[in-house]
A and B are shown apart, each in its own frame.
Chain A
Amino acid sequence: MAEEMRVVLRNYGKINPLKIEDYLSVGGYEALKKARTMTKKAVIEEVIQSKLRGRGGAGFNTGQKWAFAHETQDDQKYVICNADEGEPGTYKDRMLMENDPHAIFEGMAICGYAIGANKGYVYCRGEYPHLITILKTAIYQAKQRCILEDFDIEVRTGAGAFVCGEETALLESIEGHRGEPRIRPPFPTQKGLWQKPTVVNNVETLANIPVIIDKGAAHFAAIGAPTYPGTKILTLSGDVNNRTFFEVPTNTTIREVIFEFGDGILGDRKFKAVQIGGASGAFIAANDLDTQISFDAMSAINSTLGSGAVYVLDETRDIIDVTTRIARFFEHESCGKCAPCREGTARLHELMWKLNSGRGSAKDIALLKKLGRVMSITCLCGLGQAAPTAILTTIERFSDDYEAKLM
């Protein structure tokens, strides 16, 4: 029986998030104190050695990112916590912020110390108004006790744009502009917020940091899958009995997630498909259920872990209908900056709609495949690049469902 392991959610249910005393009483902010007795380089080295990789979806080595920002010389640098959580089916960052906001601030302050930044921002999506209050209260309490010393944290609120989770669009939004992604390079670690070196990290990534500093890189690197160590919070939705969240080591398999933690499929029905990583994720069929949820194991089956959303469909579901809905999501959320995505997402949705209403032909499927391939290499940011994923993977893995709907 696979078991849960709460590293990131270590304080879940044990402390009152609105009482800093509670966080301090479970050893909170000790890692920050410890980090400040180490050299900046040693802190970064510890994070690199832990092999922690970003939990926001891209899986970049966190310590390496910090090293880039550390190396860039400037009088002002920034740390940003990406709390724009918007991938459908995902609510892990909300769980973290609702229950343990100081763990995130501690991670940010450690990053600030390591790269030489005295200012941090939490960019929280506008759909989480209750969190804004929690975050601001917690920051106020930390400031009152001077725990963060010269590191200042400010909360910024989004206003309903999925693309603002993309790190450069997020920077634009904090600066007060439309949230349109920037052309990279330069990367944020060189020229980020107001053109200053900036580290953007996901909520879950940052909440891991105090544990790494406290218990050491080796301890962390030994958990889960060797190339993507640690744990991952997964959020289950769709046709499972137990629709909730879990934190598991990264070598847990999809089958364990759905059939043990999720307690299997609702009713007496059979499993049909699972989409992991939100709307941007691939649809996975039964033959790949023994894959581990680590970043690399998922890549190996041409899928992604992404945000860790696990959306399960039972045998009765119309996967073409669901995929059409997902295509509409991307049409809505495309920021319109680049043509392949602005036009492409609209065409993808149009073609899916045609197929879904029984008016499509094999030619339309061929067109979807071609357009999807072009978008995945020509779109400016990850939104457009991932927009065809659900379509391409369902065409490949659930071809019978498409056949059945042809004119």
Chain B
Amino acid sequence: MGYKQILDAYKNIPGGMIEAFNAIQDIYSYLPEEAIIEAAKVFNVPVSKVYDVTTFYSMFSIKPRGKNVIRICQSAPCHVAGAAEVVAALERELGIRIGESTADGKFALETTECVGQCQDTPVITINGKPYMGVTPATVVDILAEYK
């Protein structure tokens, strides 16, 4: 489905813009500028208002980013369990820093706060799927699933 059909599917749902953006990101991994301009038309609000909303939520990206979004939990329970080493391992493995995407467009690296899997820290998510008890050693295997 393209962004136009998605926006159309949500246009009659009160407050449906955020739902539509979640659905668009599931496909595009970010919110393309054309989709934002189209959303303003569909939901009958100024473009500035759409940006106002999209830039508020940390899961929305208005910049193109890698297809597989890796997020590393930084909250205190993951912090003491060695989240920093996992960040370093991922940066090394992918050759990018936090906030960047790989040149082949496959991966984006981001930090997040608690994702609610604190029983087995540290935790990362890839496209929303959680991986628990991650270590610099297991990072390689996890990435291989997406390569």
Asked if B136 is an interface residue, CB under 8 A from chain A, the answer is no
Majority SS at the chain B contact face? loop
A126 to B61, CA, bound (A): 14
The minimal Cβ–Cβ distance linking A176 to chain B, given in whole angstroms, is 3
A321 to B101, CA, bound (A): 29
CB-CB contacts below 8 Å: B1-57 with A = 14-19, 21-22, 43, 52-53, 56-57
Q: What are 22 A-B contacts defined by CB distance under 8 Å?
A: A86-B113, A88-B118, A89-B75, A89-B76, A90-B116, A91-B116, A91-B117, A94-B116, A157-B22, A161-B56, A173-B15, A174-B15, A176-B17, A176-B53, A178-B53, A235-B118, A238-B80, A243-B120, A279-B75, A311-B77, A325-B79, A333-B113
The minimal Cβ–Cβ distance linking B92 to chain A, given in whole angstroms, is 22
| Contact B22 A176, beta carbon cutoff 8 Å | no
CB-CB contacts below 8 Å: B58-109 with A = 58-60, 74-77, 79-80
| Contact A245 B119, beta carbon cutoff 8 Å | yes
A243 to B56, CA, bound (A): 33
Asked if B115 is an interface residue, CB under 8 A from chain A, the answer is yes
**Interface flags, B103-147, vs A, CB<8A=1, else 0:** 000000000111111111100010011000000000000000000
The minimal Cβ–Cβ distance linking A320 to chain B, given in whole angstroms, is 12
In this complex, the member of B21, B57, B125 whose beta carbon has the largest number of chain A beta carbons within 10 angstroms is B57
Instruction: Report chain A residues within 8 Å CB of B115.
Output: 127
| Contact A87 B76, beta carbon cutoff 8 Å | no
The minimal Cβ–Cβ distance linking A389 to chain B, given in whole angstroms, is 13
Q: Which of A156, A243, A244, A332 contacts B113 (CB 8 A)?
A: A332
| Contact A91 B16, beta carbon cutoff 8 Å | no
| Contact A244 B76, beta carbon cutoff 8 Å | no
Instruction: Report chain A residues within 8 Å CB of B113.
Output: 86, 88, 162, 329, 332-333
Chain A residue with the shortest CB-CB distance to B79: A325
Asked if A218 is an interface residue, CB under 8 A from chain B, the answer is no
Instruction: Report chain A residues within 8 Å CB of B56.
Output: 161, 178-179, 335
Chain B residue with the shortest CB-CB distance to A121: B15
CB-CB contacts below 8 Å: A141-164 with B = 156-162
Q: Which of A85, A157, A275 contacts B116 (CB 8 A)?
A: A85
Chain B residue with the shortest CB-CB distance to A94: B116
Using A90-B116, A176-B53 as known contacts, say yes or no to A313 and B60 having CB atoms under 8 A apart: no
Known: A126-B22, A244-B119, A325-B75. 18 other contacts (CB 8 A): A86-B113, A86-B114, A88-B113, A91-B117, A127-B59, A156-B15, A156-B19, A159-B18, A159-B58, A160-B58, A173-B18, A179-B57, A235-B118, A235-B119, A279-B76, A309-B118, A322-B80, A328-B74
Asked if A260 is an interface residue, CB under 8 A from chain B, the answer is no
| Contact A238 B53, beta carbon cutoff 8 Å | no
Q: Which of A86, A160, A278, A309 contacts B59 (CB 8 A)?
A: A160
| Contact B118 A91, beta carbon cutoff 8 Å | yes
Asked if A177 is an interface residue, CB under 8 A from chain B, the answer is yes
Asked if A128 is an interface residue, CB under 8 A from chain B, the answer is yes
Asked if A382 is an interface residue, CB under 8 A from chain B, the answer is no
**Interface flags, A192-205, vs B, CB<8A=1, else 0:** 00100000000000
Asked if A226 is an interface residue, CB under 8 A from chain B, the answer is no
A368 to B17, CA, bound (A): 40
Using A175-B14, A235-B119, A332-B113 as known contacts, say yes or no to A88 and B57 having CB atoms under 8 A apart: no
Report which A residues bind B (CB closer than 8 A). Answer: 85-91, 94, 125-130, 156-162, 173-179, 194, 235-239, 243-245, 275, 278-279, 309, 311, 313, 317, 322, 325-326, 328-329, 332-333, 335
Using A89-B114, A156-B19, A176-B43 as known contacts, say yes or no to A317 and B80 having CB atoms under 8 A apart: yes
The minimal Cβ–Cβ distance linking B26 to chain A, given in whole angstroms, is 9
Chain A residue with the shortest CB-CB distance to B118: A237
Q: Which of B15, B53, B59, B80 contacts A126 (CB 8 A)?
A: B59
Instruction: Report chain B residues within 8 Å CB of A129.
Output: 128-129
A89 to B74, CA, bound (A): 11
Instruction: Report chain B residues within 8 Å CB of A236.
Output: 119
A87 to B76, CA, bound (A): 11
Chain B residue with the shortest CB-CB distance to A243: B119
A157 to B79, CA, bound (A): 27
A174 to B15, CA, bound (A): 6
Q: Which of A237, A278, A325 contacts B121 (CB 8 A)?
A: A237
Chain B residue with the shortest CB-CB distance to A239: B80
| Contact A326 B119, beta carbon cutoff 8 Å | no
Q: Which of B76, B77, B112, B119 contacts A127 (CB 8 A)?
A: B112
| Contact A87 B114, beta carbon cutoff 8 Å | yes
Nearest 10 interchain pairs by C-beta: A176-B15, A160-B59, A88-B75, A159-B57, A160-B58, A88-B114, A237-B77, A129-B128, A178-B56, A237-B118
